[in-house]
Amino acid sequence: MAPRSDEPRRDPKGARRGSSREVGPTDGEPRTGEPGIGGISGARAYTPRGRTVREERGTPPRSVGAEQRRTPRSTRSGDPFRPALQVLDGGRAAARSGRRDAPAAGRGGVVRTVAPRTPRGPGHEEPPPRRRTTPRRADRPAARRPSRKPPRPPKLADSRLRLRLGTALALTLFATIGIRLIFLQAVDTPAYAGGGTAARTRTVELPAPRGAIYDSTGAPLVRSVEARYVFADPTEVEDQASTAKALSPLLAIPASKLAELLKPRKLEDGKESRFVYLARGVEISAAKQVQALELPGIGVHRDERRDVPGGDLAANLIGFTSQDMVGLEGLEARYDDVLAGQDGKRVYEAGRRDLDAAIPGGYSRTTPAKPGSSLCLTIDRDLQFRTQQILSEGMAKLRGGTGAAVIMEIPSGAVLAQASNPTYSAAKPTDSTPVAREDAATSFVVDPGSVHKAITYGAALQEGVITPDTTLPIANSIKMGDTWFSDTHQANGKRMSIPGMLAYSSNVGTITIAEKLGKDRLIDYQKRFGLGKPTGEGMPGEASGRLLPADEWSESSHGSVPIGHSVDATPLQMAAAYATIANNGTYVQPHLIKEVIGPDGKRTPAPAPITRSVLSPQNAAALRTMLEAVTTVDHATGVTAAVPGYRVAGKTGTGSRVVNGKIDTDKVSSFIGMAPAENPRYVIAVFAYAPGGGGAVVANTAFRDMMQFTLRHYRVPPSTGGSAPKFVVYPR
């Protein structure tokens, strides 16, 4: 290797290196510029040529141009300018060459300038300048690329890309959380809040008391009272036999029945039954004794039961309810929607297990129970009791019989009493039979018999077929079609007055008058008097009866229909027909409901009854007078129904009913009358069915006793118009 020279190295043109800006490789002329300008920009612009490998080994270069075109590898050399260039370049050149002493790339906090070494001598030859790293000017020819590129370091990840990706992920995460929070707070809040509340809430039913039923004076016929029910959880009962034995005297239920109820049983879904009623409507005092026993699996809870102070008083009218307070029969069933209230409930938050109590300040909502409304009937409790008593006494003489009695007020049409026999106790309906629970006044359908004759005579009067003074020759019998109709009181062809025909209940006289009236007009008046359809009194299941249509009449029907056969009617329908006569010819719908009393005590009167004109007042008064002959004429059919001190107008009847698909002929006796006859206040109808006969005596005497009590109960003064007129049966 040639020794270093103390003089600075010059290019072929003699220019001193480092004294001015870089000399172009083609012309060798120095660039114009300020000598001595230093600094970072000047240092970066100065790029000395490095030595070639051949120079390192002492081999002379081929030429100056070749030297300039060759880019030497980074080696350790004694170039005095190399350290300064390495520092000014930030260590990048050294880093690329792989030198150990190179500073880390990118470290540029402090730039240190290293002075060039002093030339060693005239014979010293400087290494060629390194190639420029800055882009070459366009006026210079491009240098030859090195034959071998230095190895590049592995490409590092871009920190900016990582930052952007992380930011995007963070924003996405926060946006997702924000959207979810919005849904939780705004959209899903009710569902989650409701679900949480439902898990903590308890519901307690607040039963609504059922409305009462009162009589016209406000006395209770039936009402609801607080009670208790006793239940059992069979899965928790330890000893069935001993538990049943302990409960039997308190619940008045046989121990054997209780033991059967306490046996474990499975439900339809296969699970064990955990609830069974042992008794309903238990008295509170008895329920407290049950609780005091502290029997495992036995519990007591609030209940309601119907209290019937009168027992069987108006039981066939009132009916009864189930243990769940649902009306099953009678007015309890017909007006169940009025009597039944609306149960309330209390929903509140409670703790768990031993803290199962309302949380103070927690959710609590109470829906008050709405008690049912009450019914005020037109029934008079005292009159109802006496009517039932009289009917029962009379029917006790007839085995297997059925009796019915109706008392109506004139002119209102209100039903003051309505009795049936047999009867039952509404407090214990399970101990009775279906027949005993029927209301005979509205379900007892019969051929009314001779009590129907008042309708025939009333129609004939109104149509002018007869007058109160009419007399007709009456034979002992009359044939209609293939049927003979006879009289029990034979006239033997004599002329008979209308009052006489009613007094002796002449079939022949009635049929003769009906023939003059005609079937069409007779049917029309039957309908006007209220036959052929339910009265709408208020009882459920009221029978409508049936009228024989004109096109179904046979020849014998002309004889049977006028005297009350081939006609189906109920005692109540016939009572309403006679009330029309008593009310000066105006029909008034019979009714049981006086008013409805709301839970707040407000009284709402019942809808006004249906009314219609059937007879003129004059004809109605004339008919009433003629009907007095039934209770005043010697040997008349209704003499035993007369009430001392009062004028009574009425009519007896003997009809039939269908029993087991067969007609039981002439076994239904009846009497329907009104008093005082000159100004009627009440109408009473009594029907008695006796399989063995003899009902006429019961009906007449029962009517007399009922009317006598009714007149005295309401303090009706005796008849002021004197006694009934003297009737002539067979005028000359």
- Alpha-carbon gap, residue 329 to 322, rounded angstroms: 10
Q: In angstroms, how far is the first alpha carbon of the chain from the final one? A: 191
Enclosing H/E stretch for 206: strand 201-206
Single-letter code of the amino acid located at 690: A
- Whether residue 553 is found in the same domain as residue 523: yes
- Whether residue 361 is found in the same domain as residue 408: no
Question: Is residue 732 a part of any domain in this protein?
Answer: no
Q: Are 677 and 724 in contact (CB under 8 A)?
A: yes
Instruction: Give me the pLDDT at residue 526, please.
Output: 97
- Whether residue 10 is found in the same domain as residue 84: yes
Instruction: Give me the pLDDT at residue 548, please.
Output: 95
CA dihedral 458, 463, 469, 471 (to 10 degrees): -90
Question: Is residue 725 a part of any domain in this protein?
Answer: no
- Whether residue 218 is found in the same domain as residue 284: yes
Closest to 682 measured CA to CA, from 643, 651, 705, 710: 710
- Whether residue 214 is found in the same domain as residue 280: yes
**Which CATH number do you get for residue 320?**
3.90.1310.10
Query: Beta-strand (E) ranges in 292-373?
Result: 298-307, 320-321, 327-329, 344-349, 364-367
- Whether residue 69 is found in the same domain as residue 130: yes
- Alpha-carbon gap, residue 313 to 317, rounded angstroms: 9
- Whether residue 90 is found in the same domain as residue 225: no
Instruction: Give me the pLDDT at residue 64, please.
Output: 43
* Those residues with Cβ within 8 angstroms of residue 95's Cβ, 6 or more apart along the chain or in another chain: 102, 103, 104, 105, 153
Instruction: Give me the pLDDT at residue 666, please.
Output: 86
Q: Please tell me the chain's helix, strand, coil percentages from 3-state DSSP, rounded to the nearest 5.
A: 30, 20, 50
Instruction: Give me the pLDDT at residue 8, please.
Output: 45
> What three-state secondary structure class fits 50?
coil
Closest to 224 measured CA to CA, from 378, 327, 366, 346: 327
From residue 700, how far is each of 394, 399, 437, 454, 648 by CA, in Å? 10, 18, 25, 17, 12
Question: Is residue 718 a part of any domain in this protein?
Answer: no
Range of the domain at 285: 205-377
Question: Is residue 192 a part of any domain in this protein?
Answer: no
Question: Is residue 443 a part of any domain in this protein?
Answer: yes
Final residue belonging to a domain, choices 311, 343, 377: 377
- Whether residue 372 is found in the same domain as residue 401: no
Final residue belonging to a domain, choices 324, 342, 377: 377
- Whether residue 102 is found in the same domain as residue 238: no
> Model confidence over 10-19: pLDDT tens digits?
444 444 444 4
**Which CATH number do you get for residue 468?**
3.40.710.10
- Whether residue 478 is found in the same domain as residue 347: no
> Model confidence over 63-75: pLDDT tens digits?
444 444 444 444 4
Question: Is residue 155 a part of any domain in this protein?
Answer: no
Q: Name residues of the chain where pLDDT drops below 50.
A: 1-50, 52-56, 59, 61-78, 84-85, 87-116, 118, 121, 123-124, 134, 138
Alpha helices (runs of H) in 396-444, residue ranges in sequence order: 440-443
Instruction: Give me the pLDDT at residue 570, please.
Output: 97
* Those residues with Cβ within 8 angstroms of residue 246's Cβ, 6 or more apart along the chain or in another chain: 293, 295
Which residue bears the tokens 């009440």?
682
Q: Name the pTM for this structure.
A: 0.72
Instruction: Give me the pLDDT at residue 103, please.
Output: 45
- Alpha-carbon gap, residue 501 to 488, rounded angstroms: 11
Question: Is residue 184 a part of any domain in this protein?
Answer: no
- Whether residue 338 is found in the same domain as residue 226: yes
184 secondary structure, DSSP code: I
- Which tokens sit at 546? 């049936």
How many domains is the chain built from? Answer: 3
Instruction: Give me the pLDDT at residue 350, please.
Output: 80
- Whether residue 365 is found in the same domain as residue 464: no
Residues present in the chain in total: 732
Question: Is residue 182 a part of any domain in this protein?
Answer: no
> What three-state secondary structure class fits 335?
coil
Q: Are 519 and 561 in contact (CB under 8 A)?
A: yes
- Which tokens sit at 506? 């002449």
* Those residues with Cβ within 8 angstroms of residue 402's Cβ, 6 or more apart along the chain or in another chain: 395, 420, 421, 422, 435, 440, 444, 688, 689
